[in-house]
Amino acid sequence: MSGPGFSRREMLAIGGAAAGLAAMTPLAHARMLPEAMDRDVFAAACRELRAIVGEDWVFADEASTISYRKSFIPDLRGEHIPSGAVAPASVEQVQAILAVANRYKLPLWPVSTGHNMGYGMATPASSGQMILDLKRMNRIIDFDAELGTILVEPGVTYQQIHDYIEEHNLPYWLDVPTVGPIVSMVGNTLERGVGYTPYGDHFFMQCGMEVVLADGSILRTGMGSIENGNTWQAFKWGYGPYLDGIFTQSNFGVVVKMGMWLMPKPPVYKPFVVRSANFEDVAAITNTIRPFRMNNLIPNGVLIMGALYQLAMFKRRSEVFSGDGAIPMDLLKAEAARNGLGMWNTYFALYGTDEIIGAVEPILRGAFEAAGGEVLTEAEMGGNPWFEHHKTLMRGGMSLEEIGLVRWWGRNGGAVAFAPVAPAKGDQTLAQSALATEIMNKYGFDYAPAYAVGGRELHHIIFLMFDKGDDASAARAEQCIDEMITRFGERGWAAYRSSVSTMDLVAQQYGQTNREVNARIKQALDPNHILAPGKQGIA
């Protein structure tokens, strides 16, 4: 391994720039006022916000806003610069802030922990919005040890719940996205994020929420408003129209509490990887997994990890390739093999008892081997850093290792995600992989894929890594993402989620009637459009 990534002198330069805010271009500024809002009016709004949350929790100058400006995605025209941030500590403070925002027509962009990495972090869909940072609301409000349910506030991180479970010796497992320690159960679930245990579809496992609407009223979904009720976290659907969905990937309200189901800790856990040698093998892998996900013999959120995504976690591009253009396939294959990896590495796990696992394992082995894969376990792969990483994930453990891919091109970082959905059919995954490779290679980028397999579909998570320190690279990244969205769209494949920079483009693909229905709900619930205008293409 190489030595530390930067010298002391570089550190001083970096630190000096950050501390002194020696911004080189106007776009490097951390703040931008809301469009059409006078400086004095903004200042008056901030004074009112300070009266609600206290002096320390309104951030409205360059230095204190800098953390909210950070993202990994390209933003060459300064379209995602917040005006500042306000951080309430209670539901009452959220209500009071919304009243001020309505009066001043101040747009607010709510975040729970604001680490929506590859999708824009805490930055808003359009410049000038003020970040409504809910991180201080960080209580685990309830943990029902019999039902395995939890009720949390937005600022609760997966690490906090993990520590809580350990501290109280509770017989439950978490399910985390790959970046659990610093992100929130609420933010992730509202984005309809995914994890890798049998509870990997987070919104599916969500049960009840409390939402502050733009006018300050408080809605409890599902069973949450029943007088003396005790089933809020036990039964999802409530009575009448099911409302939880309209508050996910949306700007219809501020979610201040959320219930989730947790997986009972199994006595035995056995992780596997299936190593496949060739790019084309993704078709056979998909067809092999599908029936087992449908009949639940494979119970967890499976990941089919491309070689490049895996290598990028722990290596920099320059260690692998120094030529022009995208990394050639044969070179990638050889580098993967040197690290004990295939072109595709499929991670799944079995949970339960020795007897259950003993009965299921041979069925799965036979099927994957027939599809040309090598089926490997701890015995062969223990100690391999990639196997260890996925072993941690498939039991809901804490890791940030995947953030390594953000510095693939070097220390400036740079990554933006495109996540189209595919039906779980081999010809579809192969066609998507071929199209993404063609487009990305044309722009000089490497195709870094992970397929997260649900029951009947796959989220095709494509991380486009670029050099954010190089405007030309960032410009190519923007064009490349737009072309992928457009050309995938022409084939009928659309993203399940998007970065703040492409929300409108993706929304268009879901059709005009969808947009109009969303617009009408928005108008009814938030007539001043103070909550996250532009979120998922909803004004």
Partner 1 sequence: MGTSASRWRAAGGLAAAAAMAAIAMLGGNARAQATYEVQPRAPEFLYARTCGYCHGHNVAPIIRGRNLPAPVIAAMVRSGQGAMPAFKPTEITNAELQALAQWLSTAPADPREHGQ
Ligand X SMILES: Cc1cc2nc3c(=O)[nH]c(=O)nc-3n(C[C@H](O)[C@H](O)[C@H](O)COP(=O)(O)OP(=O)(O)OC[C@H]3O[C@@H](n4cnc5c(N)ncnc54)[C@H](O)[C@@H]3O)c2cc1C
| Residues engaged in binding ligand X (CB under 6 A) | 110-118, 122, 134, 154, 177-179, 183-184, 186-188, 190-191, 193-194, 254-255, 402-403, 405, 415, 532, 535
Q: How far is CA 53 from the centre of its chain?
A: 28
* Paired strand residues for 142: 151
HSE-up of residue 510 (Cα within 13 Å, Cβ side): 19
Shortest spacing between CB 432 and ligand X, in angstroms: 18
For residue 353, the partner it binds in partner 1, ligand X, none, with Cβ less than 5 to 8 A by kind, is partner 1
Q: How far is the CB of 158 from ligand X (least distance, A)?
A: 8
Nearer to ligand X by Cβ, of 41 and 246: the residue is: 246
- Of the candidate spans 65-73, 214-222, 288-296, 501-509, the one that interacts with partner 1 by CB under 8 A turns out to be 65-73
- Of residues 485 through 524, those in contact with partner 1 by CB under 8 A are none
Partner from ligand X, partner 1, none contacting 532, C-beta within 5 to 8 A by type: ligand X
* Cα-based angle 299, 302, 307 (whole degrees, multiple of 5): 160
Residue 75 or 402: the one with the smaller Cβ distance to ligand X is 402
Name the one range near partner 1 by CB under 8 A: 112-120, 206-214, 288-296, 446-454.
Answer: 112-120
Q: Does 269 bind partner 1 (CB under 8 A)?
A: no
List the single partner that 110 binds among partner 1, ligand X, none, CB under 5 to 8 Å by kind.
ligand X
Residue 517's binding partner out of ligand X, partner 1, none, with CB under 5 to 8 Å set by partner kind:
none
132 binds, options ligand X, partner 1, none, Cβ within 5 to 8 A by partner type: none
SS3 538: coil
Candidate list 29, 37, 164, 234; residue touching partner 1; CB under 8 A: 164
Stretch 430-459 residues interacting with partner 1 (CB under 8 A):
none
Rg (CA), the chain: 23
Which of 156, 392, 338, 327 minimizes the C-alpha distance to 256?
A: 156
DSSP letter assigned to residue 245 = G
Residue 239 binds partner 1 (CB under 8 A): no
β-strand pairing of 108-111 with 130-133:
parallel
| Total residues in contact with partner 1, by rule CB under 8 A | 85
Q: CB of residue 258 vs partner 1: minimum separation in angstroms?
A: 14
DSSP state of 495: B
321: DSSP letter: -
The residue with tokens 């100690």 is 383
Which residue, 241 or 383, has its beta carbon nearer to partner 1?
Answer: 383
Alpha helices (H) along 191-314? 281-294, 307-314
Q: Which of 306, 289, 304, 517 has its CA nearest to residue 425?
A: 289
Bridge partners, 52 (sequence order): none
- Which of these is catalytic: 68, 104, 119, 309? 119
Using CB under 8 A, which of the segments 31-39, 212-220, 270-278, 312-320 binds partner 1? 312-320
Which residue among the candidates 68, 196, 199, 496 is catalytic per the annotation? 496
Instruction: Report what 116 binds from ligand X, partner 1, none; CB cut-off 5-8 Å by kind.
Output: ligand X
Which segment (131-139, 204-212, 276-284, 481-489) binds partner 1 by CB under 8 A?
131-139
Beta strand segments in 307-444, E = 344-352, 374-377, 415-418, 421-423
Distance CA 419, CA 400 (A): 20
Between residue 176 and residue 195, which ones bind partner 1 under the rule CB under 8 A?
A: 181-182
DSSP H or E run through 276: strand 268-276
Q: Which DSSP category does 445 fall into?
A: -
Candidate list 34, 114, 238, 533; residue touching partner 1; CB under 8 A: 114
Does 401 sit near partner 1 (CB under 8 A)? yes
Q: Which stretch binds partner 1 (CB under 8 A): 205-213, 375-383, 410-418, 420-428?
A: 410-418
With CB cut-offs between 5 and 8 Å by kind, which of ligand X, partner 1, none does residue 352 bind? partner 1
Q: Which amino acid is at 202?
A: H
Secondary structure element (H or E) that encloses residue 68, with its range: helix 62-69
Q: Which residues contact 493 (CB under 8 A, 6 or more apart)?
A: 420, 421, 422, 432
Question: H/E element holding 141?
Answer: strand 140-144
Residues between 325 and 384 that touch partner 1 (CB under 8 A): 352-355
Q: Is 497 a catalytic residue?
A: yes
Question: What are the structure tokens assigned to 424, written together?
Answer: 């779980």
Q: Helix 329-338 vs helix 307-314: angle between axes, to the nearest 10 degrees?
A: 60
Q: Decide: is 305 part of the binding site for partner 1 (CB under 8 A).
A: no
**Residues 175 and 200: beta-carbon distance below 8 Å:** yes
Select 123 or 221, whichever has its Cβ closest to partner 1.
123
Of 41, 17, 40, nearest in space to 28 by CA: 17
Give min distance, CB of 96 to partner 1, in A: 17
Please work out, in degrees rounded to the nearest 5, the angle formed at the alpha carbon of residue 250 by the alpha carbons of 246 and 252: 70
Residue 240 in the binding site for partner 1 (CB under 8 A): no
Catalytic residues, by residue number, are 119, 496-497
